[in-house]
Amino acid sequence: MQANDESNASSRIRAEQVPLVDKTSKKDAVVQYKREKHQLEDLKQEMETDMHQIPINELYSRLETNSNTGLSSEEAKRRLVRDGPNALSPPPQTPEWIKFAKNLFGGFAILLWIGALLCFLAYGVDYAMSENAIKDNKKWRLFIAAWNLGIDDSAQWITVAQLSFIIVEELYLGVVLAAVVIITGCFQYYQEAKSEKIMESFKHMVPSLHNSVLYWSMYVIVVHMLHSLWNNFAKVWRDGKLHEVPTEEIVVGDIVEVKGGDRIPADIRLIVSHGLKVDNSSLTGESDPQSRVAECTNKNPLETANIAFFSTNAMEGFIFGTGKGVVIYTGDKTVMGRIAHLASGLESGETPIAKELAHFIHLITGVAVFLGISFFIISLAMGYHWLDACVFLIGIIVANVPEGLLATVTVCLTLTAKRMARKNCLVKHLEAVETLGSTSTICSDKTGTLTQNRMTVSHAWFDLNTMLADTSEHQTQAKYDLSQPTFRALLRVAGICNRAEFKANQDLVPVLKRECTGDASDIALMKFVELAEGDVSELRDRNRKVCEIPFNSTNKFAVSIHESDTPDDRSYKLAMKGAPERIIDRCTTIMINGKEQPLTRDHREAFDRAYLELGCLGERVLGFCDYTLPLEKYPPGFAFDTTEVNFPLSGLRFLGLMSMIDPPRAAVPDAVAKCRSAGIKVIMVTGDHPITAKAVAKSVGIISPENETPEDVAMRLNIPVEEVDGTQCKACVVHGSQLREMTKNELDFIVGHYKEIVFARTSPQQKLLIVESCQRNGAIVAVTGDGVNDSPALKQADIGIAMGIAGSDVSKQAADMILLDDNFASIVTGVEEGRLIFDNLKKSIAYTLTSNIPEISPFLMFILLNIPLPLGTVTILCIDLGTDLWPAISLAYEESEGDIMKRPPRNPQKDKLVNERLISFSYGMIGMMQASAGFFTYFVIMGDNGFLPLRLFGLRDQWDSRAVNDLEDSYGQQWTYSSRKVLEYTCHTAFFVSIVVVQWADLIISKTRRNSLIQQGMNNWTLNFGILFETVLAAFLAYCPGLDKGLRMYSLKLWWWFPALPFSVLIFIFDESRRAILRRSKRGSFVERETYY
């Protein structure tokens, strides 16, 4: 029966280790999809296993291994084939051809492709009909007569050359449209590729990890997600012998040995541990070393001390500790693998800007298709030939589509990304630029983001009084009174009972910036002593260390013995530091004002109050004591034994306490206050202790002074916290253990109800659940993180933000943005930039769309009033892809209007990038004025050449007939077909120039949506040059020789530039007046509701 159970257990392990391979056929695709979704949901749950709890012999049986000999080589090979290599699966990549295809056929391109296909279709039909007509001269004449004049007079006919010209014109337009789509698509793809290269070039800006705590382990940061595992080896027992095996070849059941400085090669359960500590910062984000033992200490596998996790690093063992363990999980089945697989399996939703652009594309496409089809039907009803109606349809589509706008958006986002990089925000994906500006909730890690990521001495308690230390980032005010004997004695013990070291050749480097080796607490104490008293190395030279007992989790103290620094005193000095309660229990005296006194109950009560007070501040507190060893009992050269201790560890003299904290960054409180004024909710999500997390949250303003948590209320009223009605509080601190028991609805209530929230002791899966809950509450969520544990939340968030200095490579891979300085304040700067680009994109789109009306209306009048066409399709393309591009991009350089961080985040459901007010403003107001300017110029030029407005109405059929070469104008002058077309193309050029002239005013008024232009100023020199650019380009197109053949652009008389000028002035005055009324009106007024886009 037992053998059967072991067999079942072994089978279960094999099943757990089988890699995720898609073996389904196409007909099983749905089943496979559901299975993957189910697996993803499983990964979101807390890890459940009993591998750390079951007796060790049962574990050996389950894994079919032997603790002494390990696996056989043959069995290891078999398991390697079965389970795959001990490495994480790489994430999928998007092929370049798919990226190119999206640019070529996405967005507005599909409309232009339809237009081009219609042109080619018309060309094909015309060509076929002309071929038949040429074969039969009678059919030819009848066809031409009917086509051109709508009559049956077969006496009128045109030549084959003329017919060929008509047909080729349709082919020409189709080729132009196809070329526009291809060129625009290539430009967008090039721009995106260029942006990716820019982001790639920024990689050298990402600093290397130089955290002193991680000095000897930084070469093993996890990069397996990129499948770039270094050629590391691990010591493994195989066939009864110790071998060095590549980490990728380690399998479940292997017996491995680790020592200080090693990377843990897989998830292992420890069998033996001698003082081994590990750095779990890549998993938890917290840098405190964790002791590893052979006994199970917690039911939660992530909290127990008898498991060492894949890719973490042995720390204290660098000198003393070693460990031996059995491999329980490898590759994708490790905790690291589960996190990586969860992160890669999460689908990245559409970014807010992508949704806005999709909404805009659908809106404009709907308008274009509606108008195009409507006037196609109207044309047929009015008796136009169906091919002519197709030409009208193409013209209206081309006029509606802002061909260069998506490229403009890409360029604007790229410019902002470059600007953000200069402010320490490295954006990996362009769309993340705006997403940060849309953020309504920031879930921030604590360590290194809100804090300085270095332990610092914050308080010292001695002589029964508490001294506040300088915890500022540069500690320029760090001056201490060394006249106090007790303080000097406290500094001496802190400096010599300390294993931290400054690296060599750093004498000119400021103390706080020097790189060190050692424990975080020791480093903090050493730097404090260096700042307070001077050269620590000199202090240690004067007090040469004779022996020491390092700190360990059992004793909870460190002790060292030193030679005296007084020449006349040859006695040894004992120095001890450790957990305050352990230290004071070993003391019988206390030093007060330089004098040794018996340790009384009053002293103990003062100690307890100070210890409790400092502990409630979330600070790590250490006690210090010393003792002078009697010279007669411990003479010079005495052989001290640290194994069988032969010196006193009790009856010591208590000196005082020192507390340490990872202090907040100086800029963080102001940044949090800015977020609050901008309507952004800041939530702390950390793996640290709730007391520490709460203390930091209060110090930076995440929990404001006026708001109490249920625990605060309970303490104030002196009642149990269970009796407090938590719903009446505005702030709360949620422990990970509480979160584990919550339902989705309960978590959603907490996230939605409380304004100020701290989540402490959270696991990676819980951080992901918090992000999902915020999103269910309608928030656009930004998440910061630095460890591998943060990667699922970074991937799920609307924008993931990784730390550039302390961040693991996995977190950087999962994130959309990297903070080069690990500073929360940089996020706020990024939010401001993101909001600014959204505002500026609105302005750019408003500017671009305005010219749609003067581009569409000529085709509508052409159909409805039967006048000669005022503006050609190719000329429209010259506006959209020529004169409008630079000015539209220049608006990305516009400065904010001042209220950008004083208004709440935009509501994605209501505040669209393109809304009905923007359409109404661009089309119904400014666009109509521009169309009026164009038609006024058109009629002026026509009148100047003899065709008064009334004569033009109903003239189109004769105007476009090649058979009519004696058409009379208003003064009786006769016009041939070719001369009429020269005049028509001259009008096209003039209409084009008039649009450029009114776009001057449109560009200037687009600089601001509310402010006066006088207040906003004209300091945007890119925009100022844009006005000059579009003018020069328009002049070039109008006067360059040869363009009359290629683009149908004919030279203009100089004064024909001026008819549109009054309309340009009118636009400027109109909008300045509108904005003046807007500023003077109350929020929500009629003017704001109808015109503030």
440 in Cβ contact with 680 (< 8 Å): yes
* CA dist., res. 580 & res. 668, Å (int): 31
* CA dist., res. 340 & res. 334, Å (int): 10
Rg, C-alpha atoms of the chain:
39
Dihedral angle sign, alpha carbons of residues 739, 740, 741, 743:
positive
DSSP structure string for 522-590: HHHHHHHHHHHTS-HHHHHHHT-EEEEE---TTT-EEEEEEE-SSTT---EEEEEEE-HHHHHHTEEEE
Q: What are phi and psi of 960, to 5 degrees?
A: -90, 0
* CA dist., res. 18 & res. 759, Å (int): 35
> Among 22, 44, 43, 48, which Cα is nearest to 33's?
22
**What HEC string does 1038-1061 produce?**
HHCCCHHHHCCCCCCCHHHHCCCH
Residues in a beta bridge with 652? 587
Structure tokens at 130: 């002309």
Burial of 168 (0-12, 13-18, 19+ CB in 10 A): middle
* CA dist., res. 788 & res. 303, Å (int): 16
> Among 1076, 281, 440, which Cα is nearest to 779's?
440
Q: Identity (one letter) of the amino acid at 139?
A: K
Find the Cα–Cα–Cα–Cα dihedral 39, 41, 43, 46, rounded to 10°: -140
Structure tokens at 747: 């978590």
Active-site choice (445, 809, 816, 839): 445
Tell me if residue 256 falls in helix, strand or coil. strand
Tell me if residue 385 falls in helix, strand or coil. coil
> Among 507, 516, 521, 510, which Cα is nearest to 476's?
510
Number of H-type helices and E-type strands within the chain? 41, 30
297 in Cβ contact with 326 (< 8 Å): no
Which long-range contacts (C-beta less than 8 Å, at least 24 apart) are formed by 1011-1017?
1011/897, 1011/898, 1011/1075, 1011/1079, 1012/1072, 1012/1075, 1012/1076, 1012/1079, 1013/1072, 1016/895, 1016/897
385 in Cβ contact with 422 (< 8 Å): no
Dihedral angle sign, alpha carbons of residues 279, 283, 284, 287:
positive
* CA dist., res. 259 & res. 321, Å (int): 6
Beta-carbon contacts of residue 725 (< 8 Å; ≥ 6 apart):
none
Helix or strand run (H / E) with residue 324: strand 322-329
50 in Cβ contact with 9 (< 8 Å): no
Tell me if residue 203 falls in helix, strand or coil. helix
> Among 444, 434, 438, 441, which Cα is nearest to 779's?
441
Strand pairing report for 572-578 and 620-628: antiparallel
* CA distances (Å), origin 58, targets 52, 65, 359, 618: 11, 10, 60, 41
* CA dist., res. 822 & res. 806, Å (int): 7
Q: Is 662 a catalytic residue?
A: no
Structure tokens at 588: 């019988």
Structure tokens at 432: 């993340």
The distance of Cα 713 from the centroid of its chain, to the nearest Å, equals 37
Helix or strand run (H / E) with residue 955: none
Residues recognised as catalytic: 445
